Amino acid sequence: MVGHATEPAASATEPAASAIEPAARATEGVGTRPLVRTRRALPFASFLASVGIASLLASAALFAWGAHKWHAVSVIAEAAFMGEREETRRAKHSGDDATVPTAPGRTAKPDGAPSVPSRSRTARVGEIEISDIGLDAARLKVALAVEHELAHRDGRTLLVMVTGAECLPCRNFDGLLSDPLMQQALRRVRVVRIDGRAFAEELAELRIQTNVFPIFALLDANLKLRDAIHGGEWDEDVAANVAPVLASFVRGAYRSRRNPEWSPTAGGVRL
């Protein structure tokens, strides 16, 4: 009897279950279709985010590069618009036949070849870059700023050499540049030769001495004098004497000086 009593109840619930199943099937796609679309959109959104981040990083790098190059561009622009002409400096330099002072123990060569070219020029002796500031330079400070930028771009140290037409030790130094010892000592150096007579006033503005020749000077990025020595720091002008001194000097490691009383700055101010 019990069994007979439960059979009608079971059959009574069957229509309700049958009615629910179509409704469940009808609503099955309502919640899942938007989820599928969202999952498909995620890769595209990630791609857009990646592009945005890459663009931001590229913009930041471009801004940093532009800021670094702005100094060189402004310097070149200033040089282009300077009013001083080559003839002015040539006239100032011509007729000046005073004896060039040389380092202690040195002799001058009165009939030496002129050390100032009409136009600035750059040459290469083995691994050493040589730049001569010519009479066409509108302003020495501008020319040196360009030289510093070129040296920095190539990973070189800028070494300023103050020279003179009648300076025999200066010519001796020029003749040593091809020596293997000098090549090693100045391998990553850009030597900028400046005539101490033609550019005397502007060298004084940079606080670089011109009381003896040759003088070798190091400048920082703002063209402020860092250190200087002269040719009296070695004996005979041979590579074995000159190379070790300049190799230490350009690295900022030359400490023991033969002439400690000599001031490397114009006006006698110690560095």
- What confidence tens digit (pLDDT) does each residue in 76-95 have? 445 444 444 444 444 454 44
Between 90 and 50, the more confident residue is 50
User: What tokens were used for 65?
Assistant: 């590069």
E-strand ranges in the chain read 121-125, 128-132, 157-163, 189-195, 215-219, 225-230
Pick the closest to residue 93 from 61, 118, 75 (CA basis).
118
Q: For residues 31 and 119, what is the distance between their CA atoms, to the nearest angstrom?
A: 81
Q: What percent of the chain has pLDDT over 70?
A: 59
Three-state secondary structure call for residue 136 = coil
- Residue range 217-224: mean pLDDT, rounded: 94
For 123, residues 6+ apart whose C-beta sits below 8 A from its C-beta are 129, 130, 131, 132
Cβ atoms of residues 243 and 179 within 8 Å: yes
Pick the closest to residue 128 from 152, 153, 156 (CA basis).
156
Q: Which CATH class is domain 86-250?
A: alpha beta
Q: Is residue 57 pLDDT above 90, yes or no?
A: no
Q: Is residue 267 pLDDT above 60, yes or no?
A: no
How far is Cα of residue 156 from the mean position of the Cα atoms in its chain?
Answer: 8
Between 96 and 238, the more confident residue is 238
For 188, residues 6+ apart whose C-beta sits below 8 A from its C-beta are 127, 155, 156, 157
Q: Specify the residue for token string 């663009």.
A: 55
Cβ atoms of residues 219 and 144 within 8 Å: yes
Which pLDDT band holds residue 166 (cuts at 50, 70, 90)? Answer: confident
- What confidence tens digit (pLDDT) does each residue in 113-147 have? 446 888 999 999 999 999 999 999 989 999 999 99
Which pLDDT band holds residue 40 (cuts at 50, 70, 90)? Answer: low
Cβ atoms of residues 136 and 90 within 8 Å: no
Distances (CA, A) of 76 to 5, 82, 119, 142: 108, 10, 16, 8
Pick the closest to residue 145 from 79, 65, 244, 216 (CA basis).
79
Residue 198 burial (CB count, 10 A): 25
Q: For residues 241 and 252, what is the distance between their CA atoms, to the nearest angstrom?
A: 18
**Residue 113 DSSP class:** P
Q: What is the largest CA-CA distance in the chain?
A: 143
